[in-house]
Amino acid sequence: MAIKNVQYLLALHTIDGLGPVRLKSLLAHFKDPKLAWNGEIGEIRKIGIPENVVKLLLETRKKLDPVEYMESIQKSGIKWMTIFDPDYPERLKQIYDPPVVFYYKGEFKPEDDRAMAVVGTRKMTGYGKMVTEKFTADLVSFGFTIVSGLARGVDSASHRTTLNSGGRTIAVLGGGLNRIFPPENSRLAEEIADGHGVVMSEFPPDYPSLPGNFPARNRIISGLSMGVLVTEAAQDSGSLITARLAVEQGREVFAIPGPVTSQFSRGPGDLIKEGARLVFEAGEILEELGIDRVQSAKGKVQSLGSLSEEEKKILEVLKNENRHIDEIGRMLKLEAAKISAALLKMEINGLVKNLGSGVYCRV
């Protein structure tokens, strides 16, 4: 059942220091956001709200009109959802400190219940880009909604790959929806909200993206998901916080091994040591989650039986290593024109990927 006087809840939510736990205690005591907003200060203190937060509440009462504030949010095209609403994501509701209210653009759909977080470093390498795109595309083909944080690097690659693969994605921000960060991802956020998923934040619409916001953001990423996949990360990466929060929330954690010479293999390596499931392909994630390995219609892959002999040979030489088109030709003793035509056909069918400069990898 939706809560009444939601405008007062939104107004209370603007006050720094009134996080989910304190806000819920206020609502539990007063039963109505309007009564909490107008409550006696002595009574509010008795609930255990710190003095600095009480002072902020008094200041906010003087300068903020709850009705006008709610109308300003509506005019900006932003919607909100409270933990009392029937459509609140069920999996998110199960975590220790779910947001009492969050703001969003786009639409949630029932299929978003099958969600997987894909996270990693902002300083993505070529290898990280390749495995992020491959695993994300495969997860989309298996019917997963992809959840990430709209940050540079792995997050952006996972969102973009999902859109390119015709899937749904949820971007969880570390600041308000009116202040997309990083700014170069504003267009990506618009594309996601425009019929391809949800852009959401528990921070008020004009709240800045401060460093301290991101651990809170990360608990929502993992909270929405069945599991968290870390594709590439340094040892101090924020994505490892997401993974460890996932463990606390009872979610599965998956990690992709990387080159031992790369500092961005250290994060996944540490997670694997701590018990994360090492994965070489997306199908192993389904197995761990107990989901039948059946691809959706948009995940059709050309069967090996329908390939020509040249195509089968090309796949074999790309099995364990990326190779230049000239090297493939030398290994298979085939004319360059035949190799080029076969690779083009295989790329269209989603079997190989052109990494640039004539280098191909198996997808």
| Strand partners of residue 98 | none
- Model confidence at 292, pLDDT cuts 50, 70, 90, reads low
In whole angstroms, give the CA distance from residue 227 to residue 246: 7
First to last CA, the chain: 47
**Higher per-residue pLDDT: 320 or 15:** 15
Q: What is the pLDDT of residue 355?
A: 83
HSE (CB half, 13 Å, CA atoms) of 216? 20
Q: What is the mean pLDDT of residues 178-201?
A: 96
What confidence tens digit (pLDDT) does each residue in 11-26 have? 999 999 888 989 999 9
Nearest 10 degrees: Cα torsion 101, 106, 108, 109: 170
Distance of CA 261 to the CA centre of its chain: 27
What confidence tens digit (pLDDT) does each residue in 106-151 have? 999 999 999 999 999 999 999 999 999 999 999 999 999 999 999 9
Q: What is the pLDDT of residue 305?
A: 55
Q: What is the pLDDT of residue 256?
A: 93
In whole angstroms, give the CA distance from residue 62 to residue 356: 59
**Higher per-residue pLDDT: 279 or 238:** 279
Nearest to 316 by CA among 346, 285, 271: 346
Q: How many CB atoms lie within 10 A of CB 248?
A: 11
Q: Which residue has the tokens 């790309």?
A: 318
Q: What is the pLDDT of residue 296?
A: 41
Output the average pLDDT for the chain. 89
Structure tokens at 342: 């076969």
Q: What is the pLDDT of residue 293?
A: 57
Q: What is the pLDDT of residue 260?
A: 86
Nearest to 226 by CA among 131, 146, 138, 293: 146
- Model confidence at 211, pLDDT cuts 50, 70, 90, reads confident
In whole angstroms, give the CA distance from residue 98 to residue 21: 9
Q: What is the pLDDT of residue 347?
A: 80
Q: What is the pLDDT of residue 2?
A: 67
Under 8 Å CB-to-CB from 294, ≥6 apart: which residues?
A: none
Q: What is the mean pLDDT of residues 335-354?
A: 82
- Model confidence at 304, pLDDT cuts 50, 70, 90, reads low
pLDDT above 60: residue 299 = no
Phi first, then psi: give them for residue 125, nearest 5 degrees.
-90, 175
Taken in order of first residue, the domains within the chain and their CATH numbers are 1-75 (1.10.150), 110-297 (3.40.50.450), 304-362 (1.10.10.10)
What confidence tens digit (pLDDT) does each residue in 32-88 have? 999 999 989 889 998 889 999 999 999 999 999 999 999 999 999 999 999 999 999
In whole angstroms, give the CA distance from residue 136 to residue 116: 9
In whole angstroms, give the CA distance from residue 304 to residue 315: 10
In whole angstroms, give the CA distance from residue 251 to residue 249: 6
| CB distance 114 to 145 below 8 Å | yes
When mean pLDDT is compared across 83-97, 180-194, 199-213, 325-339, the lowest value belongs to 325-339
CB neighbour class for 349 (10 Å; exposed up to 12, middle 13-18, buried from 19): middle
Distance of CA 362 to the CA centre of its chain: 25
| CB distance 119 to 229 below 8 Å | yes
| CB distance 247 to 270 below 8 Å | no
